[in-house]
Structure 1
């Protein structure tokens, strides 16, 4: 079996305006003496860095087959990505991807897929973990009248980043917390619609920003707790756990990613042995990375430059050490 290596494609880039400089300058000039200093600094930075960001897309059909080989249980969303890329490649049209919702059990590789897709398309990604949120302003920002207020993730990504079309990963969208006053998903009603996203207003900055080219990927374990209007704005894919052969391919992909990301990885061969692959195939994709990192260390402690099945330890979950006196 050959190794499926998924590399970042060479992308063509145009420049896209993500906000209006005159609107920002006007907002800055209208600030009073007692205005929020963080807001003043934000406006000044927006003027300094300018309003143009790269909008990238592959300059040819990317290696989607290689990514399907590496992540076989994500074939359905990747085939739809292939269709959308085919429509715009070798033209000046932008890449239009409908927001994606990936449904499946924890640890089957949904977040890994989102990162791989960003790399495939030649852009960057931003990660938002909805399970840890307790307020609605994480995406849309909080009013500058509040103490310690700041912009939301979408605004920060577009203003501080280099791309107008980053991949925004909204992880565990079904576990969004909050209270009746602050809905963590409230901003998505506008952000997931292209027309309204083009003039999205962050509550902190209060200046329209063009988020219409952001690529949205949400993950969830159960769609029943996601509001119907959010679901209606997304392409929904149910992701099954990989079979034995698929799990072995995913394990090899993760092994290769870890090995090539570190200088010490050069000591190790490109291919995992069959026995090690078999041992890893029984783990979830989430647990594979931890198991592989552990196995690399075990091999070096033993003076070896190859991972064996005995270096693979099954994931038992984190355990708290009891505190005694």
Structure 2
């Protein structure tokens, strides 16, 4: 049996980076009139209170890339590029710089799962934006404070309200972005994916520049044809294949271990999944594996067992209900 251990968050070294200038915030606050947006005033006051320094982290040693490759065997190409960048800066004070990446592949093969693993690898946080449900560009870049119920965008929130200057931001299903004649959901990315322009990115709500140059961008898509060429040119594009049967077995074991280790009830189950349930899970996509594995744990307990067997693994119920053609 192939041994697999769940990837833990790496110990990271942290330097501080200034993501916004306090003087600029004080000036902006001082220029607000009596009729200014109360939420904008509260935003400036919070920014002054918490200060503009954020952690900018990177692994303090070469992470176990081979182990991660075992657990995510179909992501070896982007992992190798990350390995190169970590190798360049791991023994210096240089900050980790990763070119934005686009992961292309069929639904459910683990693209978002990879992004979360990468955030743990780097010792930072991850933020998720589902482009398929967005209709306006202001979700990323904020809406003008003159609009009712306006608020900052996701990038501003991640940097100002978070603790890190280099969070991982996942733009999921970037090829599904839709908009109207007034707003381009991808418009903000033209600036955010370029290092120079990202270093002085202005959220439309806050109207003060923030430094988003250290953000780690991961976009996912099923098809690149609907993505504008200028966006593609700003990213490293990776074609992610479906895992082979042995790779699928390793992924299934990893998911089993993650679920087992994240719940108190998991201690009653063995560390390794049996061959028969492993084979059954390996026939599924990683997204389906997770649901099926969680249900299998429950089925085992309902049957009074402390081990999952093949009969506990059900075919994904959502997949069975999905109409043909969707």
Map of 1:231 onto structure 2: 232
Q: TM-score, normalised to structure 2's length?
A: 0.97
- Equivalences for residues 207-222 of structure 1 within 5 A: 207-222=208-223
Counterpart-to-counterpart distance in 2, 1:35 and 1:8: 43
Aligned equivalents of 2:291, 2:317: Cα separation in 1: 11
Q: Residue in 1 aligned with 2:294?
A: 293
With structure 1 as the length reference, what TM-score do the two structures score? 0.97
Q: Distance in 1 between matches of 2:213 and 2:169?
A: 12
Q: Distance in 1 between matches of 2:219 and 2:256?
A: 25
CA contact (8 A) 2:4 2:67 kept: no
Deviates more, 1:264-273 or 1:311-320: 311-320
Cα separation, 2, equivalents of 1:6 and 1:314: 27
The aligned runs of 1:178-257 (5 Å cut-off) are 178-257=179-258
Instruction: State the match for 1:107 in structure 2.
Output: 108
Shift of 1:181: 1.1
Q: CA deviation at 1:4?
A: 3.2
Shift of 1:211: 0.1
What is residue 86 of structure 1 aligned with on the other side?
A: 87
- For 2:151 and 2:114, the matched residues in 1 are separated by 30
Counterpart contact for 2:281–2:313, Cα < 8 Å? yes
Give the CA deviation at 1:77: 0.3
Contact 1:4-1:69 within 8 A present in 2 as well: no
Mapping of residues 18-97 of structure 1, within 5 Å: 18-97=19-98
For residue 316 of structure 1, report the CA deviation from its aligned partner: 3.5
Matched, 1:141 2:142: yes
- Whether the 8 Å contact between 2:102 and 2:220 is mirrored in structure 1 is yes
Structure 1, residues 24-43: CA drift from partner, whole Å, max 9, x if none? 01111111111110101100
Distance (Å, rounded) in 1 between the aligned partners of 2:200 and 2:4: 44
In the other structure, the counterpart of 1:120 is 121
| 1:323 paired residue number | none
Q: Distance in 2 between matches of 1:5 and 1:153?
A: 29
Which runs of no fewer than 5 residues in structure 2 stay unpaired? none
In the TM superposition, residue 54 of structure 1 has moved relative to its aligned partner by: 0.3
- Offset of residue 177 of structure 1: 1.1
Q: Would you say the 8 A contact 1:273–1:308 is kept in 2?
A: yes
CA RMSD, Structure 1 to Structure 2 (Å):
0.9
Runs of at least 5 residues in structure 1 that lack an aligned partner in the other structure: 321-325
d(CA) in 2 for partners of 1:264 and 1:32? 56
Q: 1:64 and 1:117 mapped to 2: Cα distance?
A: 10
Deviation per CA, 1:7-32, whole angstroms, max 9, x where unpaired?
A: 11110000000000010011111111
Q: CA deviation at 1:6?
A: 1.2
